[in-house]
């Protein structure tokens, strides 16, 4: 099966998130992974983000929410920016400031390539695959895996699948269930833990 998979274990997830922080430092690539994991956005929506979507250059304050219209669904989303996102943004902003004497206007893309336009979906795939391969992650790990990993861990922490369905803007529970990547081990854990 060539379907992208979530990263299931905390240990693998930690190793994957730290690849572009500790093993091969690259703040932009680390931000791509951190934001992908923590926003559950599709890669096309993630790559379209600009600094103004996360930061107010006038006041120098991080926004609390990312507000956008999803490209695929046309639906509005308001995504809370947690501390992991803000910390990765702050690190990346410092690197950007060190590379140029121009202040942020807010118009700049968060994930620019050499032309200052956003990196391509193919480049995002390469960034994520490189980290996954270096961390010896099994299965198909792709940009979509970041979105699925968010749902899988939210579900494991007790988030209702109905709420996840709403977050993902899915039209059916069947789609959300597939996203969660529920396997036999997950079913076994329920039977192990519910001892009546």
Assess if residue 2 is contained within a domain.
no
Residue 5 included in any domain: no
Instruction: Please choose, from the candidates 19, 55, 63, 58, the residue with its C-alpha nearest in 3D space to the C-alpha of residue 37.
Output: 19
- The answer to the question of residue 52 being in a domain is yes
> In degrees, to the nearest 5, what angle opens at C-alpha 59 toward C-alphas 55 and 64?
40
Kindly tell me the sign of the dihedral angle through the C-alpha atoms of 90, 92, 98, 103.
negative
Kindly state whether residue 51 falls inside one of the protein's structural domains.
Answer: yes
Q: With respect to residue 3, please indicate whether it lies within any of the assigned structural domains.
A: no
Please tell me the predicted confidence (pLDDT) of residue 1: 47
Q: What is the pLDDT along the chain (196 residues), one digit of tens a residue?
A: 478 999 999 999 999 999 999 999 999 999 999 999 999 999 999 999 999 999 999 999 999 999 999 999 999 999 999 999 999 999 999 998 888 878 888 999 999 999 989 999 999 999 999 999 999 998 899 999 999 999 999 999 999 989 999 999 999 988 888 888 777 777 788 788 887 8
The Cβ-side half-sphere exposure at 83, using a 13 Å CA radius, reads: 0
**What is the three-class DSSP state of 70?**
coil
pTM here is 0.91
Could you tell me if residue 75 is inside a domain?
yes
pLDDT of residue 97: 86
Whether residue 127 lies inside any domain: the answer is yes
Residue 67 lies in domain: 10-193
Number of domains in the chain: 1
Q: Is residue 1 part of a domain?
A: no
Catalytic residues: 42, 72, 144, 147, 170, 179
Dist CA 17 CA 23 (whole Å):
10
DSSP 81: -
Contact (Cβ atoms closer than 8 angstroms) between residue 29 and residue 112: no
The CATH number of whichever domain residue 176 belongs to comes to 1.10.443.10
Measured in degrees and rounded to the nearest 5, phi and psi for residue 30 equal -65, -40
| Distance separating alpha carbons of residues 117 and 110, to the nearest angstrom | 9
Confidence at residue 13, expressed as pLDDT on a 0 to 100 scale: 97
pLDDT of residue 173: 87
């Amino acid at each position: 099966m060539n379907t992208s998979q979530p990263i299931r274990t905390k240990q693998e997830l930690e190793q994957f998130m730290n690849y572009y922080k500790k093993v091969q430092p690259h703040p932009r690539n680390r931000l791509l992974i951190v934001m992908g994991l923590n926003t559950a956005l599709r890669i096309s929506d993630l790559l379209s983000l600009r600094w103004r979507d996360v930061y107010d250059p006038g006041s120098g304050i991080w926004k609390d929410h990312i507000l956008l219209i999803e490209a695929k669904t046309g639906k509005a989303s308001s995504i809370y920016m947690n501390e992991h996102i803000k910390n990765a943004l702050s690190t990346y902003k410092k690197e950007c400031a060190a590379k140029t004497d121009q202040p942020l206007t807010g118009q700049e893309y968060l994930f620019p390539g050499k032309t200052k336009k956003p990196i391509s979906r193919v480049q995002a795939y390469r960034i994520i695959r490189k980290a996954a391969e270096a961390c010896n992650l099994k299965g198909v790990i792709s940009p979509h895996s970041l979105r699925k990993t968010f749902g899988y861990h939210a579900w494991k922490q007790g988030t209702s699948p109905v709420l996840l369905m709403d977050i993902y803007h899915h039209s059916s529970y069947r789609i959300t269930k597939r996203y969660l990547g529920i396997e036999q081990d997950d079913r076994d854990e329920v039977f192990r833990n519910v001892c009546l």
